[in-house]
Amino acid sequence: LAAEKEPHVAFLHSPGLGHIIPLFQFAKHLVLHHQVRVSFLVITTGASAAQNHFLQSETIPPQLQVINIPQTDMTDIITDDMLLLTKLCVMTEESLKPLKSILVELKPKALIIDIFTTQAIDVCEELSIPVYSFFTASPILLAFSLYLPTLDSQVEGEFVDLPGPVEVPGCPPIRTNNLLDQVKNRKNEEYRWYLFHASRISLVAGIFANTWQDLEPVTLEALKENPFFKEISTPPVYTIGPLIKNDEFLTEKDAKIIAWLDNQPTDSVLFINLGSGGTLSSKQLTELAWGLQMSQQRFILVVRKPTDASASGAYFSAGNDENDPSAYLPDGFVEKTQELGLVIPSWAPQVAVLRHESTRAFLSHCGWNSTLESLVHGVPMIAWPLYAEQRMNAALLTEEVGVAMKLVVEPEPEVIGREKVERAVRAMMEGEECKAIRCKARELKESACKILDKGGFSYDLICRVVDTWKS
Ligand code: UDP
């Protein structure tokens, strides 16, 4: 029967580009390489302008149907003082009210959810639909999240006041300063939301992790074999990555960026981009700009209007705030650097830049998607984590994996001075000490290559799960 050959599954992402991008890539991958039909449910609120922009830039195969969940009026529910995750979770909870009726109609063989859409587990239980989770961040965050309910019951005060690092069983220790922001103040509503979703991860039938074995072997082994994770009934973790965007549609503006790169020498450009929502304070942006100018290296700098209040200032407007960088970059910066650099307001075709042979290194906020995109292309990184779990990722990349260098050694100053920026940039672009980092990045690129192709490890794991949907 045709229906059995092409099982139909639904996807439900959390708002934000760091979520919708990888879930959509997985959906496309299932359609294009595993004969699965997908209904991709879109939460049309919050980050929706940026999400629409992203979806419009994608080629969508006919077996992938994008369905917008009808938007609800949130004016009385969302308040200005809500922290990022609270806002995101409240919006999501509200948006999921029609989920049951949508799923009754679609009758998918399975639902693939995201970390902040676990309310769907209850709906699916009523409808007898198996639920899988696609974890869009690193396995160390997955392990920490699965351990969080235990930690929550054992620790009285704040985790940041613990005398030593958090020891997730079998995993590399996490220094409390590197913990994700949402667990640094347990009195916040954000913490309660994070704990709520984290404590539900183990209720799913399986977890898809966007990674591959060679990147985080210790943590992946712990998730599989450590008695703690067995005791809490951790579902099977399928390492099905690294899935990244790979067929970006280039706008005219994007094409100009690539044409500029075409005119630069091979392996000579530093790409600076702090994610879809990251912003710097005015002071910090000034220091970054001058440090860059002082380093005398070629660069592409993606900039947003600075925000002094929060480092996630553009989360809900990502890529959507075209503006004039000369209004907030230091006076004379653009003129002084025009021989060497390109300043791009707000958004760049990141994967196309990382893939380009002129790109030598990536100064990144270490979001998980950016990390994978860099590693797949063998590009070493300078780590500049800003918010969420980015400090955990930066520690992993600089201390465990060795594919990134720190911009500054801890403790981080409030504002990183221009000399420090200059030194790190020069070291990464021309220093001897970075040879090992570059080598490791190339090695990982090799190990990631072909893993998603027929016969590759990630490919075979996906086949195993897809087979269960066919019966
Ligand atoms: N991105 C992009 N251009 C930009 C900024 C971001 O294409 O100028 C994409 C990037 O390639 C990645 C995603 O947005 O796929 C950002 O996800 P990540 O997990 O790295 O960070 P987040 O934005 O969630 O902090």
CB 232 within 8 A of CB 264: no
What average pLDDT does range 301-305 have in this prediction? 94
21 C-alpha vs ligand 1 centroid, how far in Å? 8
Q: Which atom of ligand 1 is nearest to the CA of 370?
A: 20
Q: How far does the centroid of ligand 1 lie from the alpha carbon of residue 415, in Å?
A: 23
Mean predicted lDDT score pLDDT of the chain? 94
Place of tokens 């304070």: 281
Neighbours of 399 (CB within 10 A): 13
418 within 8 A of 183, measured Cβ to Cβ: no
pLDDT of 320: 58
CA gap 319, 160 in Å, rounded: 33
Q: Is 245 in the pocket of ligand 1 (CB under 6 A)?
A: yes
In this structure, which amino acid lies at residue 295? Answer: S
Residue 277, ligand 1, Cβ within 6 A: yes
398 Cβ inside 6 Å of ligand 1: no
Span 348-361, average pLDDT: 97
Average pLDDT on 62-68 reads 97
Look up residue 399 and give its DSSP letter: I
- Higher local confidence (pLDDT), 308 or 375: 375
Query: Could you list the active site residues?
Result: 19, 114
The pTM assigned to this predicted structure is: 0.96
Q: ipTM of the assembly?
A: 0.99
At 209 the pLDDT is 98
In percent, how much of the chain has pLDDT > 90? Answer: 84
Does the CB atom of residue 362 touch ligand 1 within 6 A? no
User: Mind listing the pLDDT tens digit for each residue in 94-141?
Assistant: 999 999 999 999 999 999 999 999 999 999 999 999 999 999 999 999
Omega of the bond prior to 411 within 30 degrees of 0, cis? yes
**Rounded Cα distance, 304 and 314, in Å:** 8
Question: Ligand 1 test: best mutation among 247, 250, 350, 368, most atoms within 8 Å of CB?
Answer: 350
Q: What is the pLDDT of residues 370-390, one digit of tens each?
A: 999 999 999 999 999 999 999
CA of 274 to the centre of ligand 1 (A): 8
Over 80: is that where the pLDDT of 310 sits?
A: no
Which pLDDT band, with edges at 50, 70 and 90, does 309 fall under?
confident
List the alpha helices (DSSP H) in 96-181. 99-106, 120-127, 139-154
